[in-house]
Structure 1
């Protein structure tokens, strides 16, 4: 984690020393004296937005607001930004309070500095369930940001929101939600790997095999067709896996790069270690060294976590695909 701290007065620099000490366990902390910079505050801020996950201004809130204004893009991608007054009395999160964890950092820092955290987000003030915080803590992808805002607005207005999860639910469900037993029941929050869900875990691995020279376009058409038939959301894919003899296969690499998928490969020996019943091929065994690539690779891609096969080995025009989902759950704290 990269943390950038900037102050503008001698008094502020004294507070910075304490802040730096308390945050060093989080990651690399870079301290800047705003009065001695060779570059402008705007240039400092632009660089910090690109590389840091937490920005802390020690000084007036107005300075921070004007500095960050040109670089604010999206609550789901902006870094966390805090303001600490130069006396160290208040810690104020002003950007990315939920997704960027600015509120959590503010609470932590306020406790360490014996200061007061000034939290202004509505769900926190009213003790309400925050769907974006829940998604972040459970590493879920929010598929529709407008939907997330509507859910938060409804909860703030006192509505009871239905909740269904394809995975196990751990902990006590918040009073703002009503647990549903089926995805077919009326509900507003649906957690799962399928295209009808709103919150999606990265729980699916694609095991891929192909003849040498298969293009990215052929692989893409084949894979997307199978995902569509299984109603699997692209956002649920954690990685694409294959045998190590395919680690330089241009078509697979290009397909993964297009969608931002991690591509992992495993040796035939590693694939053979996978337990389970798989569709074996003598031809593949002779040429690759293991009788099944796609199913075994998909399981290996889950780091041998408990999982189940959604789509067994499926072949088409020199390409094979298997889809595996690991066991997953969501937790309410």
Structure 2
């Protein structure tokens, strides 16, 4: 808990590049949503709106005036996303302004999340692009007032944020960003994830080409690369990351069944073992799907809550509507469905086939699919 007093500088715990601040009931809901969808964002809101899961979600609460908190946030973060009225924000940050080359990006959101306004450091600080990404995540309208908004290219550190993509490592963000801005030869390799990530209403810049595989991109010897995939690269593909960023789209769907009272630890162990066998990244898991008989299964609920995954349950009739390779009379006897993990993964993913049909391990049965877009 951060206590704000006039004579004392607040001690914040910065983990990400962006700070999200809210002081109202509706603002808190927006802040929590952004904290979940933006990989590199720390959330701050007033303690009177405490929900009980703040420690688990690394949310920092404060008491007292937000005006006393802003100076610490202003000097610590690359960008601030503030859900407070524009006039109030302008008054609070005006004494903090130093130089457009060093001031953080500041974006303001109205209390019902309709407008996302680029307020400070639009181009150099990235507030314009941040506004677009935040607006897309909230289905809101970005408000950008700079006259020469010309940087219509891929924002490397925000690429895919609106869809929940996360990057594997921040090591190459700066040099890859420089290559993009300087219009060098850029390869985008996309094997999975949302395809409609280009939102400028015009063709991609000529220096940026999209390839379906790492092998094809390597043949073109790009200056930098953005690689979007759920799988772990093999040794021969690693050169693409010498000046490249690896993004993990949320596409892995886990279909799962388990015996009653199976521990979260056993479920996690099976998931980790399965992903290692498939050479898939855990960061790309989107959802865990099962039968509605398991909607109150403590181990499953603990796992999805811990990892922030979607938890989706289907009725036996929904599961039985899907054709599967290995229907089971035994499973039908106990659940009313001829299969659980297989059809659950297929329904959610929209895939025609499974990456892993079905594996039984201890008390857990797991199937894996890749969500189609």
TM-score bracket, normalised by the shorter chain, equals 0.5 to 0.7
Alpha-carbon distance between aligned partners in 2 of 1:262 and 1:316, rounded to the nearest angstrom: 22
Q: Secondary structure at the match of 1:229?
A: helix
Shift of 1:307: 4.7
CA pair 266-166 structure 1, distance change in 2 beyond 3 A: same
1:207–1:293 contact (8 Å) kept in structure 2: yes
CA RMSD of aligned residues (A): 4.0
Q: Which runs of 5+ in 1 are unaligned?
A: 6-38, 70-74, 83-89, 111-115, 329-333
1:42–1:67 contact (8 Å) kept in structure 2: no
After superposition, residues 227-242 of structure 1 pair within 5 angstroms as 227-242=275-290
After superposition, residues 71-86 of structure 1 pair within 5 angstroms as 80-81=107-108
Task: Give the structure-1-normalised TM-score.
Answer: 0.65
Shift of 1:169: 5.4
**Does residue 1:285 correspond to 2:332, yes or no?**
yes
**Does residue 1:161 correspond to 2:208, yes or no?**
no
The answer to which structure, 1 or 2, has the higher relative contact order (CA under 8 A, 6+ apart) is 1
Q: Secondary structure at the match of 2:227?
A: strand
Alpha-carbon distance between aligned partners in 2 of 1:66 and 1:42, rounded to the nearest angstrom: 11
CA pair 109-321 structure 1, distance change in 2 beyond 3 A: closer
Structure 1 or 2, whichever has the larger Rg, is 1
Alpha-carbon distance between aligned partners in 1 of 2:318 and 2:97, rounded to the nearest angstrom: 49
In structure 2, what is the equivalent of residue 321 of structure 1?
366
In structure 2, what is the equivalent of residue 149 of structure 1?
174
Alpha-carbon distance between aligned partners in 2 of 1:232 and 1:55, rounded to the nearest angstrom: 41
Q: Which runs of 5+ in 2 are unaligned?
A: 1-19, 24-63, 75-79, 99-103, 110-116, 234-244
CA pair 173-253 structure 1, distance change in 2 beyond 3 A: same
In structure 2, what is the equivalent of residue 297 of structure 1?
344
Task: Give the structure-2-normalised TM-score.
Answer: 0.59
In structure 2, what is the equivalent of residue 191 of structure 1?
228
After superposition, residues 212-291 of structure 1 pair within 5 angstroms as 212-274=260-322, 276-291=323-338
Alpha-carbon distance between aligned partners in 1 of 2:329 and 2:134, rounded to the nearest angstrom: 58
Name the count of aligned residue pairs. 265
